[in-house]
Structure 1
């Protein structure tokens, strides 16, 4: 069975949550007899084809970008050619230009839409896009949501409940590198084994400004891994608040990230807006058996992190509540350890890539059977 995944960005050029999901989908499908390829856009598309692990990535020239939407003049021809060879097209939503490509290509293949997130920020543009968006979603054979929480709270998905299925995102721990003794020892020498950890891109919905407010007056060591458009602003906020115990490390490689995940006390995930539809780095924390602190925003974050079991869930945009949650885990290490164990168990029960790959393969075969 051949599946073509289509999204505006992908590895190795772009690293993020959706890219990680597509990667895990492609890799987990191998054992299920699913041959996956990815079509994406790139500002520098040479070479036009690259291998990422066991799957091929096709890159078309990115010509224009408006409001986080990439446009390409050459991708339509590439899409038609690749879609003709595929049995299933798996679109990754949202990307308005993708909808146009779908309708103008004239391709008539079974169609799955992996619904990663509502459009939250561009509300004015959403009014213009809405007719096309709903026409696109109506044309889908199946829509995949990553959590029952998101399906229950998305006003868009409520209109398509009859063809939406929940298949949680999954991760393969074996695809993550095992840190060398030297790497782990270096980070342990710097931060010890008692620190909070945030991993992610510094975007508007990540709530890092809330985390910095929550850190005020605590002294708890907090390590922040990642970069992004708000990095300088957040560094200045931390300096103005006198947060010498907050450490910005910038973007790190996978080995260093895993070493910090293994060493840390707990994962901090202060995202406060629905743009955070799931939380791959939150799931990475659960995978490594760490308790989590997150906010209740009606999305998959509260499907990964169950309040009082795998960690603590607090109201969004509430630094005082976030600070109290940090105090609870810091002052009660045995409770934190027990929550981390339950987080690991929940990952094994629901969120492995093998489970995701098996469920997606079943969905693909169901559509082909029709």
Structure 2
């Protein structure tokens, strides 16, 4: 099969969870002999990109990547309120310049709603994976302007009531929900990365058939979890993009409040928020906190072996949290925010603690408690679930692609 992955951003410019999952799926499909390519957007020209026919192209770990230069300064267009000038035409030229793809896998439609509309209008076979809440929430995270959790857009009425903006009218909120909902209804299959995500979308689109496929972890790359000693300082680890939304500021503040000489915090990942970086640096000056650059994906298993506890302090609901499941593969119990899928998984399995997302004092207390009670960590480790394997995820999607192709052939006969 010829498979195209459609994603809002990708390597070499971005390396977050969705990008990592997309690359994993592309490699899994390649290992089965399928031809794969990626279509995305690019924010930075220059090497390793090559410019040709209005697109930037490069090879990422053996996967051909084609990127449309992003038009800055159009946030409402990017979020799907309005079409983006020329995007549909550019994607159409790209499709027409290539041998026909058997299936397109839409991993994230931010900035690319026009491309998905083209697929729908062409009656192309495409699969949509709900990696977050973008298609029902213009803020992407189901968090209202006042910081409270939203139960859903209710056709745009809740957006107008709780997230009003002078740039967006009530009719535009409703129009966005209808526009992006039509992309879901036009898909050959819709997949959610967790039951939590499936439930949130089903509340808004009860007519959708949604199946759940969790993101896989390359378990073969993880060594056997190391034996933990009862003495020595505890290492708390944060892995991922260092941002306010992901809670990097909160965990640094909580750790400084805990002020435990028998513990240290390692924050590992890229930071694109200078003010946050400065605040964390200030916290680090009075506590055992280190801030480290992102590591290549191949080095993540080794890095996690150096942690005792994984911290996932997200300030918004996690749709899945690949970092949490990679931590499970490394044998790490977790402290997580009581939001979204991460909080649900930890509560259900009893492999850590789900803490109030915005309460730094509660996080500081939990850190101190673990330093004083190492036996609690051992009990949590015994309850860590085995995450799905990346091979399992790839196999499920390949079977789904085949079903889409077969169904279309039957319909055309």
1:353 corresponds in structure 2 to 390
1:265 matched to 2:304? The reply is: no
What does the per-residue CA deviation read over 1:213-264, in whole Å, with 9 as the maximum and x for residues that have no partner? Answer: 3221332311111232335335325626963222212334446644331111
Return the index of the structure with the highest Cα Rg. Answer: 2
Higher relative contact order (CA closer than 8 Å, sequence separation 6+): 1
2:406 corresponds in structure 1 to 369
1:77 corresponds in structure 2 to 92
- Alignment counterpart, residue 252 of structure 2, candidates 208, 212, 232: 212
1:283 matched to 2:314? The reply is: no
1:293 matched to 2:335? The reply is: yes
2:182 corresponds in structure 1 to 135
CA contact (8 A) 2:181 2:205 kept: no
SS at match of 1:205: coil
* Deviation of the 1:116 alpha carbon: 1.3
1:322 corresponds in structure 2 to 363
- Alignment counterpart, residue 108 of structure 2, candidates 90, 93, 96: 93
* Deviation of the 1:34 alpha carbon: 4.0
1:46 matched to 2:81? The reply is: no
2:352 corresponds in structure 1 to 311
- Alignment counterpart, residue 113 of structure 1, candidates 128, 137, 141: 128
1:203 and 1:156 mapped to 2: Cα distance?
Answer: 29
Structure 2 unaligned runs (5+)? 141-162, 224-231, 408-413
1:13 matched to 2:13? The reply is: yes
Do the aligned partners of residues 52 and 139 (structure 1) sit closer, same or farther apart at CA in structure 2, a change above 3 Å counting?
A: same
Do the aligned partners of residues 51 and 296 (structure 1) sit closer, same or farther apart at CA in structure 2, a change above 3 Å counting?
A: same
2:156 corresponds in structure 1 to none
CA contact (8 A) 1:199 1:281 kept: yes
Q: How many residues align?
A: 348
CA contact (8 A) 2:109 2:116 kept: no
Do the aligned partners of residues 170 and 315 (structure 1) sit closer, same or farther apart at CA in structure 2, a change above 3 Å counting?
A: same
2:143 corresponds in structure 1 to none
1:168 matched to 2:207? The reply is: no
SS at match of 1:100: helix
CA contact (8 A) 2:218 2:391 kept: yes
2:226 corresponds in structure 1 to none
- Alignment counterpart, residue 56 of structure 1, candidates 64, 72, 83: 64
Structure 1 unaligned runs (5+)? 179-191
SS at match of 1:117: coil
SS at match of 1:37: strand
CA contact (8 A) 1:94 1:118 kept: no
Do the aligned partners of residues 157 and 265 (structure 1) sit closer, same or farther apart at CA in structure 2, a change above 3 Å counting?
A: same
SS at match of 2:386: helix
* Deviation of the 1:269 alpha carbon: 0.7
SS at match of 1:50: strand
What does the per-residue CA deviation read over 1:270-303, in whole Å, with 9 as the maximum and x for residues that have no partner? Answer: 00213x3221222221121111111121x33235
CA contact (8 A) 1:206 1:270 kept: yes
CA contact (8 A) 2:131 2:193 kept: yes
2:379 and 2:62 mapped to 1: Cα distance?
Answer: 37
Moved more, 41-50 or 213-222: 41-50
* Deviation of the 1:7 alpha carbon: 1.3
Do the aligned partners of residues 2 and 160 (structure 1) sit closer, same or farther apart at CA in structure 2, a change above 3 Å counting?
A: farther
2:194 corresponds in structure 1 to 147
SS at match of 2:332: coil
CA contact (8 A) 2:196 2:319 kept: no
* Deviation of the 1:149 alpha carbon: 1.8
Do the aligned partners of residues 322 and 161 (structure 1) sit closer, same or farther apart at CA in structure 2, a change above 3 Å counting?
A: farther
* Deviation of the 1:267 alpha carbon: 0.4
Q: 4+ residue stretches of structure 1 with deviation over 6 A?
A: none
2:154 corresponds in structure 1 to none
* Deviation of the 1:157 alpha carbon: 5.8
2:203 and 2:31 mapped to 1: Cα distance?
Answer: 30
What does the per-residue CA deviation read over 1:168-197, in whole Å, with 9 as the maximum and x for residues that have no partner? Answer: 011214468x8xxxxxxxxxxxxx873100
